[in-house]
A and B are shown apart, each in its own frame.
Chain A
Amino acid sequence: MEKHNNSEGKFVPYLLIGISVLFFLVMLVFPLAEVIYRSLKDGIEVYKSALAASNTLSALWVTLIATVIALVVNTFFGLCASWLLTKFEFRGKQVLSTLIDIPFSISPVIAGLAFIMTFGRVGWAKPIIDWFNGVFGTDISFVFSVPGVVLATIFVTFPFVSRELLPVMQAQGSAEEEAAAMMGARGFVIFRRVTFPHIKWALLYGMILCAARAFGEFGAVYAVSKARGKTFTLPLEIDALYMAGSSDSITQAFAVSSLLVLMAIIMLVLKQIVEYRGKVMEE
């Protein structure tokens, strides 16, 4: 810690530590401890059965599908967008860079509703989907269905990877890539051997943030998912259990919540490891 000679300087750090710890306890630790306590209140058997309920398993499954697809799509998109924004000059670059951040500033519920408006019964994209289903004999629907949940999840988690990559790639510049090109290397080789080592920790960090947000998303998914046991994700299932109001269902809600808390903690640990590794590699 920075050393100060004046008496005020000595006091300030302790005050700040006190405030931070208090805030942290009240806002995070106590509520999360409460979740674990409540979920185990009626014994481990109740806890187990809550997790094994078919609705819970279905919700877990939908959550994982949505998270994995969102992760893959957004990693790919994030790489493309950051590559484009940092290594090329073109008209409208600033606009694109701002557009990427829209999901950060827009309420997820609005995103969900926008999807309903676009792909729903009266949406303009509905005829296209019908045509597609007719031609290929499929039965795809983006509203009140798992693809809709996936779409909504992709939307809200879309900036995470590119936001982590942009500053790193900006700082790196393009001299090393040019040097590699001068030696005859082609695009993919340049990416794999020169660009990727620079960005891998930032990329992994962005992916972790993206995943953490994906399985916790409520608002956007809530708008497009209405069938419990079919298209509900974990946060929706928890809400449904809690809203049912019986003391049993509330305990179940906490049990399912503990699952999300566990996933969050795993992500937090991963994030910490990646951050640490990234820093060590920088030095």
Chain B
Amino acid sequence: MYVEMKHINKNFGSFEAAKDIDFGVEQGRMVALLGPSGSGKTTILRMIAGLEQQDSGDVVIEGKVVNDISARDRGIGFVFQNYALFRYMTVYENIAFGLRVKKEDKRKIDDRVKELVKLVGLEGMEKRYPDQLSGGQRQRVAFARALAPNPQLLLLDEPFAAIDAKVRKELRGWLKEMISKVGITSIFVTHDQEEAVEVADDIIIINEGRLEQMGTPVEIYKKPKTSFVAQFIGTSAVLDDFSGFKGFENLPKGRQAIVRPEFVEAFKSDNEKFKSLMHATETGIITNIAFRGSYQELILKVNGISLTANRSLERRSVKVGEQMCVLVYRVYVLADGDTEIHKNQLLKGIDIEAL
């Protein structure tokens, strides 16, 4: 493990920002700390950096306990949320700062800065000041500046929060590519699950100062360990009792069930493709249709329960009030500290994936 957090606790007055946080990050991995705002993810990042001191527990970097080593001596690169570029320095000066502080040779500094400016694609902008740059360019400068002193670990606090939605997607790809090119171990904080799934090798989900789950994006999506994770990842409906639904009669009583839009299929009764599954469907009425760009989101009332289903725009059009056949493939059922997947009993022996 390259970075290890061992039983970290941190309070701000009566607010618990970190409760027994314990995880390790392997060298060369890109890890996302994902959680809603106020969950304590930024505090965890700042404790790794040394900008915040934990109340108890150890921060270990490269096998060395760094609790008593100040932020400036940990040799970590940090990209701040709003980049915190030095406003009164040019792009060149910003990137050179960390090297100047180390009293590096002038020629060496110049070479390194030029190399980084080229790497992040800001040639010709060396003499500009931060307020003469776009959001994306500022992020590039912040990234280059953090990398200049050759840190072994890079921390990024909401690296895309200050950028508008359109450029954000583009920059995500760019950043992921850059980081894998440089090969640096990195941890970034985000509240955006899409961002975490797209950029990170591993995701750590934080809620109310606790670590909920750590794993690859696929693991987290397919096997959520806690109800929080099941609800936080993807858009999910939480239902108090689902055992009244066809095919789910033997669900354990009194347990909450979580249904994702991907688990739900809605089709018209004359549909040819789903003919063989007709016996497993319930009848639902469309109560709302929302356009989501590349697909439609249908809200269906089934047995008094509201379910969400996504529908491709390529399929036949539907309207509010229309009666549909609703099929639920599977649901998550919450058990203490874990979730179980329950499949629709009536679909036994049918190869759903081939549909």
Which residues of A are interface residues toward B (Cβ below 8 A)? 175-176, 178-186, 189, 193-194, 197-198
Contacts and interface: CB of A to CB of B under 8 A. Distances in A.
Interface stretch (B22-30, B76-84, B216-224, B258-266): B76-84
B101 A183 contact: yes
A176 B70 CA distance: 17
Contacts of A189: 101
Nearest to B131: A283
Contact of B87 (A178, A184, A186, A198): A198
Contacts of B82: 175
B87 A185 contact: no
10 contacts: A175-B84, A178-B71, A179-B80, A180-B101, A182-B72, A183-B101, A183-B148, A183-B149, A184-B98, A185-B72
A184 B49 contact: no
B102 A184 contact: yes
B88 interface: yes
Contacts of B72: 181-186
Nearest to B149: A183
A76 to B, nearest CB: 23
B86 A185 contact: no
Nearest to A172: B87
Nearest to A281: B88
Contacts of A185: 72, 97-98, 101
Contacts of A182: 49, 51, 71-72, 76-78, 146
A194 B73 contact: no
Contact of B84 (A176, A184, A197): A176
A104 B221 CA distance: 62
A183 B98 contact: yes
A184 B88 CA distance: 19
Contacts of A181: 51, 70-72
B138 to A, nearest CB: 13
A186 B71 CA distance: 10
Given A184-B149, A193-B97, A178 B84 contact: yes
B102 A179 contact: no
Contacts of A194: 86
Q: Most chain-A CB neighbours within 10 Å: which of B78, B84, B87, B102?
A: B84
Nearest to B98: A183
Contacts, number: 64
Interface of B: 49, 51, 70-73, 75-78, 80-82, 84-89, 97-98, 101-102, 145-146, 148-149
Nearest to A197: B88
A186 B98 CA distance: 11
B239 to A, nearest CB: 44
Contact of B78 (A176, A179, A186, A193): A179
A86 to B, nearest CB: 16
A85 B42 CA distance: 24
B86 A179 contact: yes
Given A179-B145, A184-B73, 4 more contacts: A175-B82, A184-B101, A184-B102, A185-B101
A182 B84 CA distance: 12
A179 B141 CA distance: 13
A66 B319 CA distance: 85
A183 B80 contact: no
Nearest to A189: B101
A165 B84 CA distance: 20
Contact of A183 (B70, B85, B97): B97
A198 B145 CA distance: 20
A261 B242 CA distance: 87
A189 B85 CA distance: 16
A267 to B, nearest CB: 27
Nearest to A180: B97
Contacts of B89: 193
A180 B51 contact: no
A10 to B, nearest CB: 38
B86 A180 contact: yes
Q: Which 6 A-B pairs have the closest CB atoms?
A: A183-B98, A175-B84, A197-B88, A182-B78, A179-B84, A185-B101
A180 B97 CA distance: 8
Q: Most chain-A CB neighbours within 10 Å: which of B80, B88, B148?
A: B88
A197 B84 CA distance: 15
A197 B98 CA distance: 18
Given A178-B80, A184-B75, A184-B149, A198 B101 contact: no
B51 A178 contact: yes
Contacts of A180: 86, 97, 101
A176 B87 contact: yes
A193 B101 CA distance: 10
Contacts of A197: 87-88
Contacts of A175: 80-82, 84
A197 B87 CA distance: 9
Contacts of B149: 183-184
B236 to A, nearest CB: 36
